[in-house]
Chains A and B, each alone.
Chain A
Amino acid sequence: MQPPKATVRPIQRFASAVSKCSVESAAYGKCILADYNSVHKDMCVKEFMRLKDCYLVCSPPRPLFRYLYHFFTRGKS
Chain B
Amino acid sequence: MRLNLAPVCRPQQWKPLLMGGTARRSYAFQSGSLNFEVFNRRAKWLQKERAAANVEGGRQADYLKDEVAMRVCERLLDVKRQFPRVLDLGANSCNIARALLRPNPDPESEPPVTDPLATKITELVAAESSHSLLHRDHDHPSLSTTHVPDFKLTRHVLEHDELLPFEPDSFDMVLSSMSMHWINDLPGVLSQINSVLKPDYPFIGAMLGGDTLYELRTSLQLAEQERKGGISPHVSPLADVRDVGGLLQRTGFKMLTVDVEDIVVDYPDMFALMQDLQAMGEGNAVLGREMGPIGRDVLLAGDAIYRALHGNEDGSIPATFRIIHMIGWKESPHQAQPLRRGSGQASLKDLLEGQ
Q: List A residues at the B interface (Cβ < 8 Å).
A: 9, 11-12, 14-15, 18-19, 22, 25-26, 28-30, 32-33, 36, 39-44, 48, 51-52, 55, 77
* Residue from B228, B229, B303 in contact with A25 in the complex, judged by beta carbons closer than 8 Å: B303
Total interface residues on B, CB under 8 Å, equals: 23
Q: In the bound complex, do residue B308 and residue A26 qualify as a contact, i.e. CB atoms below 8 Å apart?
A: yes
Show 21 residue pairs from A and B whose CB-CB distance is below 8 angstroms, ordered by the A residue. A11-B271, A14-B271, A15-B269, A18-B269, A18-B303, A26-B304, A26-B307, A28-B304, A32-B222, A32-B301, A32-B304, A32-B305, A32-B308, A33-B305, A36-B309, A40-B225, A40-B226, A41-B228, A51-B301, A52-B300, A77-B297
Which of these, B229, B269, B274, contacts A41 with CB under 8 Å? B229
Q: Is the CB of B305 within 8 A of A51?
A: no
* Contact yes or no, B225 A15, CB < 8 A: no
A27 to chain B, nearest CB (A): 8
Which chain B positions have C-beta within 8 A of A51?
300-301, 304
**Minimum distance in angstroms from B171 CB to a CB of chain A:** 41
- List chain B residues, Cβ under 8 A from A11: 271, 274-275
* B225/A25 in contact, CB under 8 A: no
B15: which A residues are within 8 A, CB to CB? none
Tell me the dominant secondary structure on chain B's binding face.
helix
5 cross-chain pairs, A with B, having the tightest CB-CB distances, nearest first: A29-B308, A41-B229, A25-B304, A15-B271, A29-B304
Indicate if B138 sits at the interface (CB-CB under 8 A): no
Distance to closest chain A CB from B93 (angstroms)? 20
Whole-angstrom CA separation of A77 from B304 in the bound complex: 18
The reply on B227 being an interface residue by CB < 8 A is yes
Q: Mark B278-300, 1 if CB is under 8 A from A, else 0.
A: 00000000000000000011011
Distance of A50 Cα from B187 Cα, bound (Å): 50
Asked if A52 and B297 make an inter-chain contact with CB atoms under 8 angstroms apart, the answer reads: yes
| B272 contacts chain A at the CB level, 8 A cutoff | yes
Decide if the interface of chain A is mainly helix, strand, loop or mixed: helix
Task: For the complex formed, measure the closest distance between the CB of A11 and the CB atoms of chain B, giving whole angstroms.
Answer: 5
CA distance A36 to B304 in the complex (A): 13
Q: Please, which residue of chain B has its CB at the minimum distance from the CB of A34?
A: B308
CB distance A33 to B309 under 8 Å? yes
B54 to chain A, nearest CB (A): 11
**Chain A residues, Cβ within 8 Å of B227:** 41, 48
Write out the residue numbers on chain B whose beta carbons fall within 8 Å of the beta carbon of A39: 222, 225-226
Cα distance A41–B228 when bound, in Å?
6
Residue of A nearest to B311 (CB): A29
For residues 259 through 281 of chain B, which have their beta carbon under 8 Å from a beta carbon of chain A? 269, 271-272, 274-275
Against A, the Cβ 8 Å flags (1 = close, 0 = not) of B203-233 are: 0000000000000000000100111110000
Cα distance, A9 to B54, chains bound together (Å): 13
Q: In the complex, A44 Cα to B301 Cα: how many Å? A: 10
B269 with A40: CB separation less than 8 A: no
Q: Which of A9, A40, A48 contacts B229 (CB 8 A)?
A: A40
* Cβ contacts under 8 Å, A52 to chain B: 297, 300
**A13 vs chain B, min Cβ distance (A):** 10
Residues on the B chain within 8 Å of A32, using CB: 222, 226, 301, 304-305, 308-309
A14 to B270, CA, bound (A): 11
- Would you give the 0/1 interface string for B315-346, flagging 1 where the beta carbon is closer than 8 Å to chain A? 10000000000000000000000000000000
When distances are taken between beta carbons in the complex, the residues of chain B under 8 Å from A18 are 269, 271, 300, 303
Q: Separation in Å of the B86 CB from the closest CB of chain A?
A: 37
